[in-house]
């Protein structure tokens, strides 16, 4: 059963992507740690940190693509799952600070001390254990996605209505996490981390390991997604996207299918958030901002939705561009970024991946090119 | 196997290419001293921070006109962290390792500062932070040129108590760390002064809150209890305009219920019709209206560079002081090396724009005068009260039980949070 | 400011006509001249005391000018003047007669400094001086000042004034001010009980502290009467508080309505997920700024009409940007609703940054015209004028839009195109242009909303961002494609928010509302006013 | 489950539904026997599609009884449950999964476990593959099995959709305008196909094309304004005054 799944998962494309990611997971940290700074192939720490962050974004975009590109659920609130995973990791990291906080309190994080909290709130219990935090990284986003999806899909909320309420969800969480009474550090969020699993988060080796872990996590997620997409379940997902009611009429429980995909995707987003936090050193409510979730949609669209490699390329390309532009043209980079989004939708409706594969297909012959376009064109039921 | 080796080399090569693309113009003239400017030029904070980027560029140009520093020209490296807090950390790292800046001037919000702190610590660089903040922090690599709570909030409350005989207090703020901490300190301070619990009303609103009808009405009701009432506002930048508009429209006049604000300066008032606000107060360490030759020259230079209608404000002065202190410290140390400059900075004195001499203290805060100003119809403040001496910034408030025993001294104790009771430096391994 | 000076001038002439001088003018002049020596606040206070002791109503203009910050000293000779105008050189007025006596450059004058406590002192003094002023409004103001800071010593004066007062409203105000003073005095128990009755009849929040202060009196009759009065007044206030909440809710609802109504067209009717909607609102607000800036510089007299001028311009500016946007980008994306989201998001980034580049990142000042400033009371209900206008305006915009959609040829074509495009085009409707103008209409309305919102919010590049989410919530809650839904949705959310706010606080109230919307959509997946039937479900 | 009330496969009694006051179905009663083929005709807006919506669970009736196999109350089930009970539906506009191949379309429709675990992990068995080959043969799409459904002609899509119905192996097929947009030759073929299916399974065909109805040669029900106007052979109903009137209008 599982072997069948794996067999389907590891098609040529998946093997290639997984190998590249594993190679990156090994090569970059090795180059960072072993090669001398002057070596032309040396990857500086800040570049590694940067790409580590991009890879977590790539994982988030991949998660979104599973529900949007394949199932047609445009979630404008995926940042919420990412942030929840991040907070779960952040809480673990906060508990690891121990007595090294500025007030030297053995249990309470600094922000609780100076706001006069007397004891740790119950929902902070257990986060001193990594296994518990790791469980929560999956469970909290998963549970939220389950409850939310259970109601929304059962009531057949779809299209823009669904998009807007996912946005409402992340916006409500944003406001909630801003509140200092919530006990998550308010606007400042969680920061000033010291250790992860006993290793200093600032140590170069820790950074290298986190980078490797992210690349490996992305590789695993890619294989899982590939397995899902290549299975009959994946085909049904596309059916739901293209003709939801037809799928119902041949006897599929569309709400269960959507719910499953949504929960899996939320968990992947949670993992991405958990890997993101130790690498950037802070998690705060800003991650819940609706604009952040919209950006994830944009990465996916730029890369090419409805293909698994697209969101990864998109996330890295857009964020790389953003990093470059904000330094090179600090006062004009928004024009460049805004222009990029407009240009992508107008001229590359299928994203970078669509451009590349239709380019390849055109080389092979016009007939093939059409087919590629059809595959990558997720028709929307609403459009009929 | 060959496949894997090929992939590996390919990946490394592309990472190297990407790396070189991401380090902008690292090949520029090598004999300049680079100064990083880390202020948001887009997003929600651009409204406040862009001015600080401009003032830093002006200061650097002026210094270059004077012949630069250590015989080299200064070069400003501007990046846009886009009001995105994790991006602050990323950009700080890029400035320090990618561009090799000698010091960074930047950040506005507490969260952006918190976000970059570990980066400065790890890479051992220098940050000058120019904004009034909640205190409860003293880091070796950071120099706080804005006001600590004792340099702004407490003198303002004293003024209201003594001059306006206020007995009832509304502490209204945006829900984030600075107002929370400031209000906590003020609450403790007021109770210390014998103000009863029921005479203090604390209210928090979200960022960018725009509908103030209910809250202003509540303040009005709270203020009609027969005792003289004042509002201490730690409301954050953007939300102030609708707040003051609502105050004016509901007819709350400064002579009835004065509002003293800690985050409203000339820049914020520039977006407002101030006629209905005349008499409301602000507490700062600098006002544009202060009449000193240094200030006059500063304003003239600023207006010539940016335009006649532009105003100056407190965080700009903080950068002015911080930058001059850094220049002096580099000259004293004879190098831009971070450790040497960090050691040289405490004790450096430089004139501020209000006619005094500010000193960098061992706790990395500075001495500043505290001014209370009344809003005028022309959008400026008129100073109605000024502390006799410069007030030294206190990193750890004496009005919070947990931070009372703490002390920061980077010269003698080499510790930012030394507990005077247990005689230990907390947080050290 | 100028208005006040003119008013003062008017007053002074009335004084001189109605009343014989009660003190030697020379004495008054001498006292006023002392302001030139007052370097400290305490000295200024002493001079005011001195003037008050003269008891001459002719001192009022000078004192009020001091309070306004327009009393200035000529540095060359120490003469004191009231100044008029803001243009350099400033016009000088005699502080007693208010006659124009020449002008002086700004830097040769220095202002007599004031602060709040001095302003209060002046208000007290002036109210004492103006109890017999000829203008009933000034007398009312005097009564109000005494009421808010009652002083037992003034009771006798008030008795005399009440006896002579002819205007019943002013008389009542004096009686109430006297009652407040009585309760602060050591007069007889009967007098006090009577005063309590007067205050009870007056009602309102500001009688509560006065009543509370006597409710603990040792005199049981007075204390009992005060306690009764307090509960009566509070009960009355409770009733009004509910009304006030509804008003706040409607007012918030009208802001939401304004923000959302353009979106109800572009998103609701056309199905374009227009993330740049907020920026259209922002453009409208900036248009208002430009118009006001132009008026300030070239025709200051027109300032009160600035909004009326800005309205059509804002419609045109945002509308044409919308038109360009539709022709340039959106028309290529019909049938791919989610991609319009990405493109318009890009456009919104570009527009924000463009405005930031042109106008700078800081807030811009948009003033309230005089007819939009201030407030008035209906019973205990405080209604601020600008909010009232915004409510009226939003309903007006709604009504006009409804008329355009239902009664004009364009509206008919628009509905035809959105309902069945091929059919409409085969009937000879130029569907591309209908699309373009529909989008322009929605954008233009957003621009108009920007004019209104500039009156209550920041005019900054971030203005639009603050409204975009709320706008989508309103449209979706009300039901996409239904204008009435948008109206009811906006008002419901506004009122619900304002009723939750006193209990939960502003943040939690907003969170509750969002959760409410999420739950509501589960119940009615297509909003409040969903279209039913076969066609929409296909 | 209630006691068996009727022997008919499908039993509608007194069914009404209104949209915003407009009565789409008004007191409709209809029975279809096991293996019967029934043609339903009626002018536009007569309620044909709404009737199908009610049977397949897409629309809930305001009142009335809808029973399947004499005991299952269809108004209590949703679309996917009804599909699994054995009612298949072909839409007016051919709806196939355009991004999938012809073969995948049939495979997805095949009657088997549609649960999440099964769809994620189970492979298609030999028998199931044989069944798909059979259906492909039946609907004459064997050569195009690996083409995308989007590439099919209109008529082929109609047939593919019918093929998907067959793969579902339902007891009752609801076929809405199967020959719309087909050439004459295709129409004839379709009629043949449907008649082959009938007998084994019950079929309800909604059609406007009178030649096609005549080809089918089955009992005809005429709907108008949401209720049954006439029932019988085509010749019988087309002689009915009221039918003529309702088609031609007044």
The reported pLDDT for the residue numbered B29 is 47
Residue B201 domain flag: yes
Q: Are B47 and C385 in contact (CB < 8 Å)?
A: no
- Which sign does the torsion angle of CA B252, B253, B257, B263 carry? positive
Which residues of chain A lie closer than 8 angstroms to B182, CB-CB? none
CA distances (Å), origin A55, targets A211, A271, B154 = 8, 12, 47
The neighbours of chain D, by the rule of 3 or more Cβ pairs under 8 Å, are A, C
> Could you tell me which residues come within 8 angstroms of residue B427 by beta carbon, excluding any fewer than 6 positions away?
A99, A100, A101, A102, A104, B416, B417
The reported pLDDT for the residue numbered B128 is 97
pLDDT in tens, C283-342: 999 999 999 999 988 888 888 899 999 999 999 999 999 999 999 999 888 877 777 888
Strand order in the sheet with D37-41: D87-90, D172-176, D202-206, D37-41, D219-224, D227-232
Q: Do chains D and B touch (3 or more CB pairs under 8 A)?
A: no
Residue B236 domain flag: yes
**D110 CA to chain A: closest CA distance, Å?**
8
Q: What is the spatial distance between Cα B145 and Cα B148, in angstroms, rounded to a whole number?
A: 9
Q: What is the spatial distance between Cα A242 and Cα D104, in angstroms, rounded to a whole number?
A: 14
Residue D43 lies in domain: 10-248
- Structural domain tally of chain D? 1
When mean pLDDT is compared across A191-200, B162-171, B190-199, B219-228, the lowest value belongs to B219-228
Q: What is the spatial distance between Cα C341 and Cα C273, in angstroms, rounded to a whole number?
A: 5
Q: What is the spatial distance between Cα A85 and Cα A273, in angstroms, rounded to a whole number?
A: 5
For the record, the structure tokens of D108 come out as 């997805």
Of B279, B286, B207, B291, the residue nearest B243 (C-alpha): B207
Of A62, A2, A33, the residue nearest A311 (C-alpha): A62
> Could you tell me which residues come within 8 angstroms of residue C339 by beta carbon, excluding any fewer than 6 positions away?
A301, A345, A349, C333
Q: Is the pLDDT of residue D232 over 70?
A: yes
Q: What is the spatial distance between Cα B222 and Cα B352, in angstroms, rounded to a whole number?
A: 40
Residue D3 domain flag: no
The reported pLDDT for the residue numbered C327 is 92
The reported pLDDT for the residue numbered B30 is 60
Low-confidence ranges of chain C (pLDDT < 70): 1-23, 530-538
The reported pLDDT for the residue numbered B298 is 96
Q: What is the spatial distance between Cα A198 and Cα A209, in angstroms, rounded to a whole number?
A: 13
The reported pLDDT for the residue numbered A364 is 65
Q: Are A23 and B93 in contact (CB < 8 Å)?
A: no
Tell the burial category of B186 from Cβ atoms under 10 Å away from its Cβ (0-12, 13-18, 19+). buried
pLDDT in tens, A19-72: 999 999 999 999 999 988 888 888 888 889 899 999 999 999 999 999 999 999
Which residues of chain C lie closer than 8 angstroms to D49, CB-CB? 534
pTM: 0.88
Q: Are D22 and C533 in contact (CB < 8 Å)?
A: yes
pLDDT in tens, B288-325: 999 899 999 999 999 999 988 889 999 999 999 999 99
Residue D20 sits at φ, ψ, to 5 deg, of: 50, 45
> Could you tell me which residues come within 8 angstroms of residue A344 by beta carbon, excluding any fewer than 6 positions away?
A301, A302, A351, C342
> Could you tell me which residues come within 8 angstroms of residue C219 by beta carbon, excluding any fewer than 6 positions away?
C189, C192
Which residues of chain A lie closer than 8 angstroms to D91, CB-CB? 246
For the record, the structure tokens of C367 come out as 């003033």
Cβ–Cβ contact B41 with A under 8 A? yes
CATH number of domain containing B233: 3.40.50.2300
For the segment D98-126, the average pLDDT, to the nearest whole number, is: 88
Q: Is the pLDDT of residue A276 over 80?
A: yes
**C538 CA to chain B: closest CA distance, Å?**
41
Cβ–Cβ contact A232 with D under 8 A? yes
Of A271, A312, A278, the residue nearest A209 (C-alpha): A278
Cβ–Cβ contact B121 with A under 8 A? yes
Residue D66 domain flag: yes
In this prediction, what percent of chain A has a pLDDT beyond 70? 94
Select the residue of B18, B24, B177 nearest A187 (Cβ to Cβ).
Answer: B177
Residue B205 domain flag: yes
Q: What is the spatial distance between Cα C100 and Cα C223, in angstroms, rounded to a whole number?
A: 56
Residues within 8 A of B (CB atoms), C 348-407 only: 352-353, 356, 360-368, 373-375, 382, 384-387
Beta-ladder partners of B374? B281, B382
- Residue C379 falls in which region: left (phi positive, over 0), alpha (psi -120 to 50) or beta: left
The single-letter DSSP state of residue C265 is I
For the segment A206-228, the average pLDDT, to the nearest whole number, is: 95
Which residues of chain B lie closer than 8 angstroms to A46, CB-CB? 93-94, 97-98
- Structural domain tally of chain B? 1
Q: Are C534 and D24 in contact (CB < 8 Å)?
A: yes
Q: What is the spatial distance between Cα B230 and Cα B218, in angstroms, rounded to a whole number?
A: 13
**A361 CA to chain B: closest CA distance, Å?**
24
Instruction: Report DSSP letters for B327-361, one per residue.
Output: HHHHHHHTS--HHHHHHHSTT-EEE-TTSSEEEB-
Q: How high is the ipTM of this complex?
A: 0.86
Cβ–Cβ contact B360 with A under 8 A? no
Residue D122 domain flag: yes
For the record, the structure tokens of B384 come out as 């109605």
The reported pLDDT for the residue numbered A138 is 96
The reported pLDDT for the residue numbered A377 is 38
The reported pLDDT for the residue numbered C67 is 85
Q: What is the spatial distance between Cα A312 and Cα A115, in angstroms, rounded to a whole number?
A: 41
Instruction: Decide: helix, strand or coil at residue B52.
Output: helix
Q: What is the spatial distance between Cα C227 and Cα C239, in angstroms, rounded to a whole number?
A: 19
Q: Which of A173-187, A353-367, C4-18, C73-87 has the highest mean pLDDT?
A: A173-187
How do B281-284 and B371-375 pair as beta strands? Answer: antiparallel
Mutate which: A72, A231, A246, A382, vs D, most D CBs within 10 A: A246
**Do C77 and C110 contact (CB within 8 A), yes or no?**
no
Residue B350 domain flag: no
Q: Is the pLDDT of residue A311 over 60?
A: yes
The reported pLDDT for the residue numbered B346 is 95
Beta-ladder partners of B201? B170
Which residues of chain A lie closer than 8 angstroms to D79, CB-CB? 245, 248-249
pLDDT in tens, B17-74: 554 444 444 444 468 999 999 999 988 888 889 999 999 999 999 999 999 999 999 9
pLDDT in tens, C433-464: 888 999 999 999 999 999 999 988 888 888 88
Cβ–Cβ contact D164 with A under 8 A? yes
Residue B174 domain flag: yes
Residue B200 lies in domain: 153-261
Number of Cβ atoms within 10 Å of the Cβ of C332 = 15
Residue B166 domain flag: yes
CATH number of domain containing D53: 3.40.50.300
Q: Are C480 and A342 in contact (CB < 8 Å)?
A: no
Of C243, C240, C175, C174, the residue nearest C205 (C-alpha): C240
The overall average pLDDT reported for chain B is: 88
Tell the burial category of C385 from Cβ atoms under 10 Å away from its Cβ (0-12, 13-18, 19+). middle
Closest-CA residue of C relative to B375 is C115
Of A289, A126, A110, the residue nearest A191 (C-alpha): A110
Q: Is the pLDDT of residue A382 over 50?
A: no
Sole residue written with tokens 């570990």: B118
Residue D233 domain flag: yes
How do D10-19 and D22-32 pair as beta strands? Answer: antiparallel
CA distances (Å), origin D242, targets A237, D27, D249 = 48, 18, 10
For the record, the structure tokens of B283 come out as 């507490």
The reported pLDDT for the residue numbered C335 is 73
Q: What is the spatial distance between Cα D222 and Cα D173, in angstroms, rounded to a whole number?
A: 19
Residue D133 domain flag: yes
């Amino acid at each position: 059963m599982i072997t069948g799944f794996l067999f389907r998962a590891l098609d040529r494309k998946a093997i290639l992507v997984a190998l590249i990611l594993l190679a990156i997971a090994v090569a970059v940290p090795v180059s960072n740690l072993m090669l001398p700074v002057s070596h032309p192939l040396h990857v500086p720490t800040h570049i590694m940190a940067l790409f580590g962050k991009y890879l977590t974004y790539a994982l988030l975009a991949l998660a979104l693509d599973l529900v949007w590109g394949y199932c047609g659920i445009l979630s404008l609130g995926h940042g919420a799952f990412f942030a929840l995973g991040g907070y779960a990791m952040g809480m673990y990291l906060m508990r690891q600070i121990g007595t090294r906080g500025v007030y030297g309190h053995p249990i309470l994080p600094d922000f609780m001390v100076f706001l006069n909290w007397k004891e740790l709130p119950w929902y902070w219990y257990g986060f001193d254990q990594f296994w518990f935090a790791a469980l929560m990284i999956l469970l909290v986003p998963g549970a939220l996605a389950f409850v939310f999806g259970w109601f929304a899909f059962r009531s057949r909320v779809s299209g823009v209505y669904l998009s807007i309420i996912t946005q409402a969800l992340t916006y409500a969480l944003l406001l909630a996490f801003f509140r200092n009474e919530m006990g998550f550090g308010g606007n400042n969020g969680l920061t000033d981390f010291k250790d992860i699993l006993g290793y200093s988060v600032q140590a170069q080796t820790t950074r290298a390991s986190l980078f490797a872990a992210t690349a490996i996590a992305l590789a695993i997620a890619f294989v899982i997604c590939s397995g899902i997409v290549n299975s009959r379940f994946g085909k049904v997902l596309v059916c739901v996207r293209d003709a939801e009611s037809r799928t119902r009429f041949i006897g599929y429980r569309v709400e269960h299918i959507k719910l499953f995909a949504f929960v899996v995707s939320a968990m992947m987003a949670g993992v991405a958030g958990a890997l993101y936090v130790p690498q950037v050193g802070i998690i705060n409510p800003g991650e819940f901002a609706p604009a952040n979730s919209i950006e994830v949609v944009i990465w996916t669209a730029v890369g090419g939705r409805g293909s698994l490699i697209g969101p990864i390329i998109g996330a890295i390309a857009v964020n790389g561009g953003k990093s470059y532009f904000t330094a090179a043209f600090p006062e004009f980079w928004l024009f460049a970024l805004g222009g990029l989004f407009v240009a992508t939708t107008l001229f590359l409706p299928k994203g970078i991946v669509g451009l590349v594969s239709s380019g390849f297909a055109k080389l092979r012959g016009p007939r093939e090119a059409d087919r590629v376009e059809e595959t990558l064109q997720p028709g929307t039921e609403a459009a009929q | 196997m060959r496949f894997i080796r090929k992939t590996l080399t390919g990946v490394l090569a592309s990472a190297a290419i990407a790396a070189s693309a991401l380090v902008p113009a690292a090949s520029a003239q090598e004999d300049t001293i680079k100064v990083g400017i880390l202020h948001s030029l887009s997003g929600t904070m651009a409204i406040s921070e862009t001015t600080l980027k401009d003032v830093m560029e002006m200061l650097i140009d002026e210094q270059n006109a004077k012949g630069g520093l250590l015989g080299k020209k200064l070069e400003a490296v501007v990046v846009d962290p886009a009001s995105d807090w994790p991006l602050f950390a990323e950009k700080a790292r890029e400035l320090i390792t990618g561009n090799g800046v000698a010091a960074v001037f930047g950040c506005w919000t507490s969260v952006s500062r918190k976000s970059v702190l570990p980066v400065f610590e790890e890479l051992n660089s220098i940050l000058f932070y120019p904004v009034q903040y909640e205190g409860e922090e003293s880091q070796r690599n950071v120099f706080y040129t804005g006001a600590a709570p004792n340099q702004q909030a407490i003198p303002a409350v004293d003024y209201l108590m003594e001059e306006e005989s206020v007995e009832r207090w509304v502490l209204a703020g945006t829900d984030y760390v600075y107002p929370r901490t400031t209000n906590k300190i003020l609450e403790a301070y007021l109770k210390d002064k014998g103000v009863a619990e029921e005479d203090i009303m604390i209210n928090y609103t979200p960022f960018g809150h725009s509908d103030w009808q209910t809250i202003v009405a509540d303040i009005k009701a709270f203020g009609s209890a027969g005792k003289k009432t004042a509002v201490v506002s730690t409301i954050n930048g953007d939300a102030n305009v609708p707040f003051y508009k609502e105050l004016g429209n509901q007819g709350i006049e400064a002579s009835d219920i004065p509002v003293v604000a800690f985050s409203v300066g000339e820049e914020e008032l520039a977006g407002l019709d101030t006629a209905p606000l005349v008499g409301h107060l602000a507490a700062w360490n600098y006002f544009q209206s202060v009449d000193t030759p240094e200030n006059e020259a500063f304003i003239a230079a600023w207006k010539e560079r940016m335009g006649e209608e532009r105003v100056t404000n407190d965080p700009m002065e903080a950068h002015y002081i911080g930058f001059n202190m850094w220049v002096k410290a580099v000259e004293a140390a004879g190098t831009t090396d971070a450790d040497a400059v960090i050691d040289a900075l405490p004790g450096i004195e430089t004139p501020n724009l209000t006619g005094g001499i500010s000193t960098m203290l061992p706790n990395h805060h500075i001495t500043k005068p505290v001014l209370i100003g009344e809003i005028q119809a022309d959008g400026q403040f008129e100073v109605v009260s000024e502390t006799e001496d410069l007030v030294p910034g206190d990193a750890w408030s004496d009005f919070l039980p947990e931070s009372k025993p703490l002390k920061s001294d980077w010269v003698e104790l080499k510790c930012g949070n030394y507990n005077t009771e247990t005689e230990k430096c907390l947080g050290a391994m | 400011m100028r208005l006040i000076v003119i008013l003062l001038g008017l007053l002074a002439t009335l004084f001189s006509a109605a009343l014989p001088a009660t003190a030697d003018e020379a004495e008054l002049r001498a006292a006023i001249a002392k302001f030139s020596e007052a370097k400290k606040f305490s000295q200024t206070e002493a001079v005011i005391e001195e003037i008050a002791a003269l008891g001459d109503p002719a001192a009022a203009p000078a004192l009020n000018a001091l309070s306004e910050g327009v009393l200035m000293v000529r540095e060359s000779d120490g003469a004191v003047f009231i100044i008029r105008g803001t243009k350099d050189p400033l016009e000088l007025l005699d502080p007693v007669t208010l006659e124009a006596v020449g002008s002086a450059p700004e830097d040769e004058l220095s202002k007599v400094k004031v602060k709040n406590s001095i302003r209060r002192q002046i208000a007290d003094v002036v109210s004492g001086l103006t109890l017999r002023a000829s203008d009933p409004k000034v007398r009312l103001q005097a009564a109000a000042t005494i009421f808010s800071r009652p002083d037992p010593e003034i009771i006798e004066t008030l008795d005399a004034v009440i006896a002579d007062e002819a205007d019943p409203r002013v008389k009542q105000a004096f009686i109430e001010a006297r009652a407040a003073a009585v309760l602060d005095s050591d007069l007889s128990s009967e007098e006090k009980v009577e005063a309590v009755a007067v205050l009870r009849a007056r009602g309102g929040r500001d009688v509560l502290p006065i009543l509370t202060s006597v409710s603990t009196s040792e005199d049981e009759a007075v204390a009992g009467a005060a306690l009764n009065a307090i509960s009566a007044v509070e009960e009355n206030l409770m009733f009004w508080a509910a009304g006030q909440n509804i008003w706040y809710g409607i007012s918030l609802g009208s802001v939401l309505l304004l923000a959302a109504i353009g979106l109800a067209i572009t998103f609701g009717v056309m199905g374009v997920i227009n993330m740049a909607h907020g920026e259209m609102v922002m453009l409208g607000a900036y248009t208002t700024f430009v118009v006001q800036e132009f008026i300030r510089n070239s025709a200051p007299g027109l300032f009160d009409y600035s909004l009326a001028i800005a309205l059509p311009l804002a419609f045109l500016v945002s509308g044409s940007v919308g038109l360009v946007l539709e022709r340039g980008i959106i028309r290529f994306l019909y049938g791919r609703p989610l991609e319009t989201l990405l493109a318009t998001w890009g456009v919104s980034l570009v527009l924000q940054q463009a405005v930031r580049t042109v106008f700078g990142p800081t807030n811009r000042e948009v003033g309230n015209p005089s007819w939009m400033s201030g407030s008035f009371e209906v019973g205990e209900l405080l209604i601020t004028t600008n909010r009232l206008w915004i409510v009226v305006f939003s309903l007006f915009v709604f009504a006009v839009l409804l008329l355009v959609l239902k009664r004009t040829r364009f509206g008919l074509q628009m509905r035809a195109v959105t309902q069945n495009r091929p059919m409409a085009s085969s009937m000879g409707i130029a569907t591309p242009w209908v699309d373009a103008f529909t989008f322009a209409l929605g954008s233009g309305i957003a621009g108009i909303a920007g004019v209104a919102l500039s009156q209550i919010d920041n005019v900054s590049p971030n203005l639009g961002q603050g409204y975009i989410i709320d706008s989508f919530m309103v449209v979706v809650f009300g039901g996409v494609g239904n204008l009435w839904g948008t109206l009811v949705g906006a008002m419901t959310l506004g009122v619900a928010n304002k009723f939750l706010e006193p209990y939960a606080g502003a943040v939690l109230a907003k969170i509750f509302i969002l959760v409410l919307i999420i739950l509501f959509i589960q119940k009615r997946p297509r909003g409040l006013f969903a279209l039913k039937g076969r066609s929409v479900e296909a | 489950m209630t006691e068996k009330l009727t022997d008919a496969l499908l039993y509608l009694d007194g069914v009404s539904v209104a949209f915003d006051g407009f009565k789409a179905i008004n007191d409709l009663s209809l029975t279809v026997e096991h293996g019967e083929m029934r043609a339903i005709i009626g002018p536009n807006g007569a309620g044909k599609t709404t009737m199908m919506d009610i049977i397949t669970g897409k629309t809930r009736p305001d009142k009335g009884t809808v029973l399947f196999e004499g005991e299952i109350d269809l108004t209590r089930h949703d679309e996917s449950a009804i599909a699994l009970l054995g009612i298949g539906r072909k839409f007016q506009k051919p709806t196939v999964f355009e991004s999938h191949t012809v073969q995948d379309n049939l495979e997805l429709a095949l009657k088997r476990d549609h649960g999440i675990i099964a769809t994620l992990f189970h492979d298609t068995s030999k028998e199931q593959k044989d069944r798909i080959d059979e259906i492909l043969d039946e609907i004459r799409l064997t050569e195009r099995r690996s083409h995308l459904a989007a590439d099919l002609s209109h008529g082929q899509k109609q047939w593919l959709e019918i093929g998907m119905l067959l793969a579902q192996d339902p007891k009752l097929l609801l076929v809405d305008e199967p020959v719309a947009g087909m050439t004459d030759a295709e129409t004839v073929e379709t009629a043949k196909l449907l008649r082959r299916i009938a007998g084994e399974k019950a079929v309800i065909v909604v059609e406007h094309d009178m030649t096609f109805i005549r080809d089918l040669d089955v009992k005809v029900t005429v709907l108008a304004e949401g209720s049954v106007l006439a029932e019988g052979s085509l010749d019988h109903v087309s002689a009915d005054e009221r039918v003529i009137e309702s088609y031609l209008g007044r």
